[in-house]
Chain A
Amino acid sequence: MGDIVEMLDITKDFPGIRANDRVSVRVRKGSIHALLGENGAGKSTLMSILFGLYQPDSGRILVRGREVNISDPNVANALGIGMVHQHFKLVHNFTVTENIILGLEPRRGLVLDTAKAAARVAELSKLYGLDVDPNAKIEDISVSMQQRVEILKMLYRNAEILIFDEPTAVLTPQEIHELMAIMRRLTAEGKTILLITHKLKEIKAVADTCTVLRRGKLVGTVPVADASEAGLAQMMVGREVNFSVSKTKAQAGAVKLSIRDLCVRNAKGLLGVKHLSLDVRAGEIVGLCGIDGNGQSELIQAITGLVPVESGTILVGDRDISKLPVKARLDAGLGHIPEDRHRFGLVLDFRLDENMVFHRFQSRPFSRYGILNPVEISRYADRLISEFDVRSGEGVATPARSMSGGNQQKAIVAREIDRSPAVFVIAQPTRGLDVGAIEYIHQRIVEERDKGKAILLCSLELDEIMDVSDRIAVIYGGEIVGVVNADETEENELGLLMSGSLRKAE
């Protein structure tokens, strides 16, 4: 089969940075072609050029052997190129069908013919095994279903070349498996898929060919069957990557965080956390693992004071913080890296330095008598930036919004570690980050442990829990169903605990 898309010698400049430097990619029809690279490597820019969102400064694009000028997404659509964006573009109070037909509504006379469209959507959904209800409202369906609606949107427009931008970042492990099955079915039906990702596992699992980019330059294109994960990682990062976290055995000390008989209500008013007890000692990392929605969020938010506690106690040191306001908890020695960095961790419209003093701007030297001291604030931020290698376009004056996810997370980690709390609650520290950043953040977490901090690590990534933790507490239905030592357990046992089919008393 021939190449359906050829992007030749594409160069794209942004002010101060060359996002793509003479990159060439050839995509075979009917294949799944992965684009691998760290955040900021230029893979999204390249695909945005193919989708007509950007114009290349130089280079040629051939689709089905013919040279084309993709001046905007409408041209891309006409060429049969569709894109599923990382952040879905759906109208929440519309139905699935209404969303799909938006922009090319079928009409009968003056009346919208939704029924006909719904039938077509149902047919497409069945053909590719998407299992989407055409009449459901977007706000009522899960994130993975919403993603399928985006896929249907492309299929409805007869797209032949489908671009997926980090499609698995928002999905659970099961949903990722399902998505991969869908991708395979799509290629079986003759579609071509371009997959932007930085997850090596997924590439190994689903892609045929992989093109690796680093800092805007093409590193190489390899058949996935011949490449190892380690090899791909090295191509991506430019050096050898340490997959396993190097750490010594934990020197656990006294109990620093002690949760006793804790009950917390969830958003529905039910008990999301039920009579939960858990201890974390100084100098150890306790991993909290479980399937999403089993009370992790409620537990974390109860510890950090974002939701009220129904009953029970939370001791930091020997002080009960369960009734204290947020600020007092932070002052009592609690540190928190929140699971949603955009929602809780940063004020995206603030500058980087303003974000760095987010918990401390009210104290000296950052302010005096209620007046901010911008010199001290940016000096402090400068120190953290160089100490934690936070990369940003304009230094301390960079708006947080314009930084890459990895650097945003590094900024939060820097801010929290520098506060030097005795107890650290860390949630999803590496969600959406690339291998290099993950390695770095894991290292810092282990370093904090070795300084004698008590760390509670909550993650949905089983690998992360198993690599970083010393002990693993499994949460199911709002209860801890088992606590095991990380080096004495394996995936299978954890899986059984997580699904509630096994219980293990401490």
Chain B
Amino acid sequence: MADEKKHKATRSGKLLVPALAALMGFLVGALVILITGKNPLLMFNAMIQGVTGINVAKGSFNARYIGEFVLQAMPIILTGLSVGFAFRTGLFNIGAEGQLMLGSLGATAVALLVKAPPVVHIPLVLMGGMLAGGLWGAVPGLLKARFNVHEVVVTIMLNYVALHVNNWAILNVFGSADRVKTAVFPASAMLKDPWLQNLSGGSRLNWGFVPVILAIVAYWFIIEKTTFGYGLRAVGFNKDAAKYAGLKVNRNVMLSMLLAGAFAGLAGAIITSGTFGFGRALSAAEGYGFDGIAVALVGATQAPGILLAGLLFGMLKAAGPLMQSQGIPKEIGGIIQASIVLFVAMKYGIERIGLWLRAKKSGSQQSVADSAVGEEAGV
């Protein structure tokens, strides 16, 4: 009986929890601004402007903000897919950051070394990024499958290795003149497009959103619709049962990490050939991997959820500079993001609050007690 209740609660909670968590995150942000003596409405204005380009206070419009917002959301949606994909197989991929760096490197290699017309070259660049990221992700997968080495440890360490592999290769293999970046890619390898940039008022918007949309669809399709995805989910939910049904658990673990790495690698390729147009040496990790963990968590590892969570966090990132120009520290965005993640992690508490609110509305307090039991008695 309690189980039935629990199930009900979690299903409505799938939407409810992230939505409430986001709301509460913004409240916390507003509160912090209030405490520092600023007007929280300025923050909300900045957010609205960051997404729509409309400055509500001044009544002005600038399409550049929309472009920058999409640009910010693209890579973290992909790293979110990366983390989410591995998570569905019961693996925790902390290595999206490193896989992304290797993806950048792979894309750089294809962009600089291959000569082809744009229709061929751009897909090759993207595939190069996915392949490099995928192989980098397969390493912890292989170690897990063969020697049962925990993927968390391996992926964290490989992030550092990736940083230095990337820097070494950029400086020594592709010959950087200024010790910071490679030569600019040929136009045929660029996702960058002046037309798009003009359209969005001079933002850095590029064609990267097309592969991002394809990746979201692919994620959903693979996980929900294919036998391969069925196997991955079975392994993620119950390894013993999967083994008993004759599924190749170890192979699934490896393939899952390979594909997770490919999603992150795609993010790297898009950043490199879309935002910059040249390979870069990095002084430190840029945090896409960790944002991806947050996106996957808030998006409940579901494709639509990851899209929405990625857009949400993209908005926070995009609104940062705008808030700063209003005298609100852009770190507030970080605080909101952290609060949202925290509130999502406090899932059960939020579910209870949500049910309580609903019960209050319907005039009965009953379901609150029930949901509380669902959690305690649920096995």
Contacts and interface: CB of A to CB of B under 8 A. Distances in A.
Interface of A: 14-15, 19, 40, 44-45, 48, 53-55, 57, 71-72, 85, 87, 304-306, 325-330, 336, 338, 343-350, 354, 358-359, 361-362, 367, 370-372, 393, 399, 401-402
Given A326-B246, A358-B245, A372-B226, A348 B237 contact: yes
Interface of B: 1-8, 225-228, 230, 233-234, 237-238, 240-248, 366, 369-370, 373, 376-377, 379
A371 B246 contact: no
B285 to A, nearest CB: 33
A325 B246 contact: yes
Contacts of A393: 4
B246 A350 contact: no
B225 A372 contact: yes
A59 B162 CA distance: 66
Contact of B237 (A305, A336, A338, A347): A347
B244 A336 contact: yes
Contact of B3 (A85, A343, A401): A401
16 contacts: A14-B5, A57-B366, A85-B377, A326-B243, A326-B244, A329-B246, A347-B238, A347-B241, A354-B230, A358-B241, A359-B245, A359-B246, A361-B230, A367-B226, A372-B226, A372-B230
B238 to A, nearest CB: 5
Contact of A48 (B3, B6, B373, B379): B373
B240 A344 contact: yes
Contacts of B233: 347, 350
A371 B227 CA distance: 6
Nearest to A359: B245
A53 B2 CA distance: 10
A55 B369 contact: yes
Contact of B377 (A14, A48, A359): A48
Contact of A53 (B7, B225, B247, B373): B373
A71 B365 CA distance: 12
Contacts of A330: 246
Nearest to A350: B237
Given A71-B369, A326-B244, 14 more contacts: A14-B370, A48-B1, A53-B377, A72-B369, A304-B244, A326-B243, A326-B246, A344-B241, A346-B241, A347-B238, A348-B237, A359-B246, A361-B230, A393-B4
Contacts of B245: 326, 358-359
A350 B244 contact: no
A504 B101 CA distance: 69
Contacts of A362: 227
B226 A348 contact: no
Given A350-B234, A367-B227, A402 B373 contact: no
Closest 7 CB pairs of A and B: A327-B246, A326-B246, A344-B244, A349-B237, A53-B373, A347-B238, A402-B7
A474 to B, nearest CB: 26
Contacts of A15: 4, 8
Contacts of A347: 233-234, 237-238, 241-242
Contacts of A343: 238, 240-241
B255 to A, nearest CB: 13
Contacts of B3: 401-402
Nearest to B4: A402
A19 B1 contact: yes
B340 to A, nearest CB: 25
A322 B5 CA distance: 44
Contacts of B243: 306, 326
Given A349-B237, A372-B230, A402-B7, A44 B1 contact: yes
A48 B2 contact: yes
Contacts of B5: 14
A40 to B, nearest CB: 8
B227 A370 contact: yes
Contacts of B7: 399, 401-402
Contacts of B8: 15
Contacts of B369: 54-55, 71-72
A87 B5 CA distance: 18
Contacts of A370: 226-228
B373 A348 contact: no
